[in-house]
Chain A
Amino acid sequence: MASYLNTSANHPYIPSTDSERAEMLGVIGVDSLDDLLGDIPLEHRHPALNLAHGLSEQELSTLFGSIAAQNASPSNRYLSFLGAGAYQHYIPSTVRSILQRGEFVTAYTPYQPEAAQGTLQVGFEFQTVICQLTGMEVANAGMYDGPTAFAEACLMAARVTRRTKVGVLTSADRRLSETFFAYSKHQGIQLVEIAPDANDIPDDIACIGIQSPNFFGGIEDVERLTKLAHENGALSVVHVNPTSLGMFKAPGEYDVDIVTAEGQPFGVPMAFGGPYVGLFACKKAHIRQMPGRIIGRTTDTNGRTGYALTLQTREQHIRRERATSNICTSTQLIGLMVTVYAATLGKQGIKEVAGLCYQKAHYAASKIDKLDGYSVKSNGTFFHEFVVKCPTSPASINSALLDQKIIGGLDISDRSDNGMLVCVTETSSKDDIDRFVSALSQIVAAL
């Protein structure tokens, strides 16, 4: 009897049919698959697998719809003032469109350069953009994320200087030092905390690690700290926010040795923390100590320009336990997003987005500072983020804000008394900011 319902056991991701499998097994010279599994201990073969049966695409879409609906996000009209390492920015249609190109998305690492000129040329463009933004001489093709890039930069400074202590400013995000700790703890490298206003530093440290804008949004005196590092034979490692570089002087102008950054603000969705891309640039003199993949320009046998992975003798697949890093699969596709973002916004757009973020954050800070009970603790120049001292615990304020569909700033009472780290980007309209300010005001009035 004809059936109009799904009765086939075949799966859309697996093309072989029963008769083809039987034919292939015949060619191999065995009766069944089990004849190929003789090396697997019999008592452990075909274990029970306690998983559900497969879903159709339609059922899968329904499941994911329900999962997504359980999260609070701009798409269900929540406002958010969270930053602290991940930032909400507008992502241009060009980035989303190019990200649909399966030829980029489903390619492997470009070990066969003739068959990967697309990926390789994008990587060369990426390195160019990162050099232009940071004012540095060379950049690699990307690291996992900002904190791992910073950790690897500090390890690189230790290799370059042959020193075993790494200094990090106390104003930096603790995620940076925690990641560094995880990367360094078995390599005999010690972390030393340095105050941002320090006038002298230990003379045996490999680098001063500076985050600017720092965790609290403040701009550090990179020029002075870099001089201080150099006077002591140390390197200067600066972790920046790429959006801030549309407005503030590039680290390269201050003679910085290594620059790292979280690339997420450049066209990458926040996506609950990843995947992102770590940006990594340095002076040319240190290039052979750089971790990660590097793409270089060369020519083919007909003299035509082409691109290939280069300086691979630093890497794990050649150097094994003596490699500059264990990194292999990295973040090429996220690098593509950063590159398309930079090309789309261009020279003027990057400056304007930075300007807009600056204006809106300072507008929000000035309004909040005028509220009874609240004061803005950040003095001096800040970008994107600032610290608000709340009249009561930030946790209780955030809880009250959530009732009004507002996700408040990050509770940093562990680092600043009743402190809330508030972030404002170009995606917040004046109305959004005013709504946030008025909610804060109502909450304090109700206390």
Chain B
Amino acid sequence: MTITTGANEIDRRLLMDRSMAGRKAFTVPISDVPDQDLPNDELLRDDLELPEVSQLEVIRYFSVLSQRNFSIDTNFYPLGSCTMKYNPKINDELASLPGLADIHPLQPDETVQGALRLLKDLQDCLGEITALPGVSLAPLAGAQGEYAGLLVARAYHDSRGDSARTVAIVPDSAHGTNPASAAMAGLDVVTVRSNEHGNIDVQNLRELANENTAVFMLTIPSTLGLFEPNILEITKIIHDAGGLVYADGANLNALLGLVKLGDLGVDICHSNLHKTFSTPHGGGGPGSGPVMVAEELSEFLPKPVAELTDDGYVLATPKNSIGSINGFHGSFSIAARAYAYIKALGIEGLQSVSENAIIGANYIQAKLKDKYNLAADRYCMHETVLSATRQKKRGVGGLDIAKRLLDFGIHAPTMYFPLIVDEALMIEPTESESKETLDHFIAVMRQIDDEIDSSPELIHEAPHDLPVTRLDEATAARKPILRWSADE
């Protein structure tokens, strides 16, 4: 048999296919205690089917797999709303230090004063950045921060005997977690329209806000990358109706040191530490989604909250806390990374982050708007949303453009979101990228537009040089194969 080369010959065997009885990658120590009686046989397991591979095989298998990924460390990743910025290596190193990585969550407060000091200091930093001083770091991701924020809003209304407030108003441009979290919190979701400029339709909001409004969920800047110019009027409408304003902080990277959410009338927000504060996305988590609230709402925060008392730092439960929303105190080692990031940037650095993120997005927008339609033709914040409708008329949709970008080693933008924009391509370059990288991206986007007329098949069949071409996702969903099995 001839051995061939090329992408087709990647060794696609799974761990179980590589398993050989008797091989091992690890030696478990021999017991140093006297033999203890085992439980009844009927409780014990006969067989455990797991791979048997050598240590080198483990390292090589996973190392080779890692090379089949795009990542920040290897690729430009202009994925809108995801803030794929540089994840500083020192942060991983510091979070893994002995004394941080090996402490147990239930240790007495007096034995974890360093950890509690870190949490308290990070709470204070986030409170200062948002002007929302009540902070809980407990939520494990953005969606949990959102949910915790909604529980706080409900607890606040209930505490005032105002329990008929069961409606969450959500813009039509909102991320899917907003309505999903609102439904979990038992709120009915009512949608407010965006107008032709990409702003909230204030008249529509006025009609919807009433004595049933528990909360208005606003992403700011919006998923269109726009700062809501009527923000002060909007927060006033909601407050006059007796509701609270919740800000989805997914796009906080645009606002550091430029404006504070609390100053605008926002009552509650969350921040994704894995976006704005540079903690790695990990291929889909772990994240961390601290929730920040105005002073008068802080008694409802999820527990625990780090506090400084006369006896040192403690983990405390706020007076009327909504309780625990997960096992322990949140993603501590993610919090440690975010803290290191804030400390490394400091006051000037944080402001510089947002300034450069905004300039980069507007630069891309300015250089592409003759070729691609804009979702809104005005200055954007940290991201710009293109609409590939002109390209679609020529036979190439947003999906095709996204896939073709992969051929150039550039990760695709966020596609088909927000839902209110046809053929949306949401581009967020972040402050981490140099002008040369932005210029290269712009040149590639312009070339792809040319290719629609010169060589459309190149785009339709893209990507060409990755470990796989386009996948049959319909069959994957119709006949799900979700694990290795011996009979295949």
Q: How far does the Cβ of A388 sit from chain B's closest Cβ, in whole Å? A: 16
Q: A73-B98, A246-B45 are in contact. Are A109 and B50 (CB under 8 A)?
A: no
A-facing residues in B26-52 (Cβ within 8 Å): 26, 28-29, 31-40, 42-45, 48-52
B-facing residues in A74-98 (Cβ within 8 Å): 74-76, 78, 80, 82, 84-86, 88, 92, 94, 97-98
The residues of B that contact A245 with a CB separation of less than 8 Å are: 45, 48
**Can you give 23 A-B contacts (C-beta < 8 A)?**
A37-B358, A47-B260, A56-B344, A60-B343, A64-B100, A73-B103, A104-B71, A112-B406, A116-B283, A124-B484, A131-B483, A147-B324, A148-B327, A175-B324, A187-B186, A294-B480, A304-B468, A308-B473, A320-B179, A331-B286, A346-B25, A348-B24, A356-B31
> Which chain B residue has the least Cβ–Cβ distance from A223?
B42
Where chain B touches its partner, the secondary structure class is loop
Q: Per a CB cutoff under 8 Å, which of A44, A97, A329 touches B284?
A: A329
Q: How far does the Cβ of B38 sit from chain A's closest Cβ, in whole Å? A: 8
Stretch of A9-17, A199-207, A225-233 at the chain-chain interface: A9-17
Q: B154 touching A186 by the CB < 8 A rule? A: yes
Stretch of B290-298, B390-398, B429-437, B447-455 at the chain-chain interface: B429-437
Q: Closest 5 CB pairs between A and B?
A: A186-B186, A273-B328, A333-B282, A54-B346, A70-B114
A-facing residues in B382-439 (Cβ within 8 Å): 402-403, 406, 411-412, 417, 431-435
> Does A72 count as interface, using CB distance less than 8 angstroms?
yes
The residues of A that contact B311 with a CB separation of less than 8 Å are: none
Q: B466 touching A114 by the CB < 8 A rule? A: yes
Q: A124-B14, A182-B325 are in contact. Are A306 and B346 (CB under 8 A)?
A: no
Q: B48 touching A246 by the CB < 8 A rule? A: yes
Q: How far does the Cβ of A166 sit from chain B's closest Cβ, in whole Å? A: 15
Q: A271 touching B332 by the CB < 8 A rule? A: yes
The residues of A that contact B35 with a CB separation of less than 8 Å are: 359
Complex-state Cα separation, A73 to B105, whole angstroms: 11
Q: A71-B113, A101-B63, A402-B108 are in contact. Are A328 and B177 (CB under 8 A)?
A: yes
Q: Per a CB cutoff under 8 Å, which of A51, A56, A144 touches B125?
A: A51
The residues of A that contact B176 with a CB separation of less than 8 Å are: 315-320, 323, 328
Q: B280 touching A248 by the CB < 8 A rule? A: no
Q: A69 touching B99 by the CB < 8 A rule? A: yes
> Does B443 count as interface, using CB distance less than 8 angstroms?
no
Q: How far does the Cβ of A101 sit from chain B's closest Cβ, in whole Å? A: 4
> Does B487 count as interface, using CB distance less than 8 angstroms?
no
B-facing residues in A127-147 (Cβ within 8 Å): 127-129, 131-133, 138-139, 141-142, 144-147
Interface digits, A4-48 against B, CB 8 Å rule (1 contact, 0 not)? 000001010111100011011101111001011111110011110
Interface digits, A303-323 against B, CB 8 Å rule (1 contact, 0 not)? 011111011110111111111
Complex-state Cα separation, A38 to B358, whole angstroms: 13
> Which chain B residue has the least Cβ–Cβ distance from A96?
B96
B-facing residues in A287-344 (Cβ within 8 Å): 287, 293-302, 304-308, 310-313, 315-323, 325-334, 336, 340, 342-344
Complex-state Cα separation, A250 to B98, whole angstroms: 34
The residues of B that contact A103 with a CB separation of less than 8 Å are: 66-67, 69, 71, 73-74
> Does A274 count as interface, using CB distance less than 8 angstroms?
yes
Q: Per a CB cutoff under 8 Å, which of A98, A139, A182, A362 touches B59?
A: A98
Q: A49-B350, A250-B45, A347-B48 are in contact. Are A117 and B411 (CB under 8 A)?
A: no
> Does B209 count as interface, using CB distance less than 8 angstroms?
no
> Does B195 count as interface, using CB distance less than 8 angstroms?
no
> Does B308 count as interface, using CB distance less than 8 angstroms?
no
Q: A359 touching B33 by the CB < 8 A rule? A: yes
Q: How far does the Cβ of A120 sit from chain B's closest Cβ, in whole Å? A: 9
Q: How far does the Cβ of B469 sit from chain A's closest Cβ, in whole Å? A: 4
Q: A326 touching B146 by the CB < 8 A rule? A: yes
> Which chain B residue has the least Cβ–Cβ distance from A219?
B43
Complex-state Cα separation, A366 to B34, whole angstroms: 11
Q: A60 touching B101 by the CB < 8 A rule? A: no
The residues of B that contact A274 with a CB separation of less than 8 Å are: 105, 140, 286, 326-334
Q: Per a CB cutoff under 8 Å, which of A33, A92, A185, A321 touches B182?
A: A321
> Does A430 count as interface, using CB distance less than 8 angstroms?
yes
Q: A323 touching B180 by the CB < 8 A rule? A: yes
Q: B468 touching A117 by the CB < 8 A rule? A: yes
Q: A332 touching B141 by the CB < 8 A rule? A: no
Q: How far does the Cβ of A340 sit from chain B's closest Cβ, in whole Å? A: 6
Q: A430 touching B32 by the CB < 8 A rule? A: yes
Complex-state Cα separation, A429 to B32, whole angstroms: 7
Q: A248 touching B45 by the CB < 8 A rule? A: yes
Complex-state Cα separation, A355 to B356, whole angstroms: 56
Chain B CB within 10 Å, residue with most, of A21, A67, A133, A296: A67
Q: A85-B328, A107-B283, A117-B467 are in contact. Are A71 and B114 (CB under 8 A)?
A: yes
Q: A107-B283, A182-B322, A296-B481 are in contact. Are A147 and B327 (CB under 8 A)?
A: yes
A-facing residues in B272-329 (Cβ within 8 Å): 272, 274, 278, 280-288, 302, 322-329
> Does B5 count as interface, using CB distance less than 8 angstroms?
no
A-facing residues in B347-397 (Cβ within 8 Å): 347-353, 355-356, 358-360, 362-363, 365-367, 379, 381
Complex-state Cα separation, A21 to B435, whole angstroms: 9
Q: How far does the Cβ of B422 sit from chain A's closest Cβ, in whole Å? A: 18
Q: A13 touching B327 by the CB < 8 A rule? A: no
Q: A69 touching B28 by the CB < 8 A rule? A: no
Tell me the number of A-to-B contacts counted with CB atoms below 8 Å: 682
Q: How far does the Cβ of B407 sit from chain A's closest Cβ, in whole Å? A: 10
> Does A115 count as interface, using CB distance less than 8 angstroms?
yes
Complex-state Cα separation, A24 to B364, whole angstroms: 9
Q: A75-B98, A272-B103, A402-B108 are in contact. Are A28 and B73 (CB under 8 A)?
A: no
Interface digits, A341-363 against B, CB 8 Å rule (1 contact, 0 not)? 01111111111110110111011
The residues of B that contact A23 with a CB separation of less than 8 Å are: 435
Complex-state Cα separation, A14 to B88, whole angstroms: 11
> Which chain B residue has the least Cβ–Cβ distance from A348?
B24
Q: Per a CB cutoff under 8 Å, which of B105, B143, B227, B411 touches A270?
A: B105
Q: B346 touching A51 by the CB < 8 A rule? A: yes
B-facing residues in A406-425 (Cβ within 8 Å): 407, 410
Interface digits, A239-257 against B, CB 8 Å rule (1 contact, 0 not)? 0000001111110000000
> Does B164 count as interface, using CB distance less than 8 angstroms?
no
Q: A66-B114, A107-B282 are in contact. Are A298 and B484 (CB under 8 A)?
A: no
Q: A122 touching B65 by the CB < 8 A rule? A: yes
> Which chain B residue has the least Cβ–Cβ distance from A315?
B176
> Does B106 count as interface, using CB distance less than 8 angstroms?
yes
> Does A215 count as interface, using CB distance less than 8 angstroms?
no
> Which chain B residue has the least Cβ–Cβ distance from A144?
B140
Q: Per a CB cutoff under 8 Å, which of A21, A85, A133, A248 touches B327?
A: A85
> Does B440 count as interface, using CB distance less than 8 angstroms?
no
Q: B112 touching A272 by the CB < 8 A rule? A: yes
The residues of A that contact B482 with a CB separation of less than 8 Å are: 124, 127, 138-139, 287, 294-297, 310
> Which chain B residue has the least Cβ–Cβ distance from A147?
B327
> Does B53 count as interface, using CB distance less than 8 angstroms?
yes
Q: A110 touching B50 by the CB < 8 A rule? A: no
The residues of A that contact B102 with a CB separation of less than 8 Å are: 73-75, 88, 269-271
Q: A112-B411, A349-B24 are in contact. Are A343 and B51 (CB under 8 A)?
A: yes
> Does A61 count as interface, using CB distance less than 8 angstroms?
yes
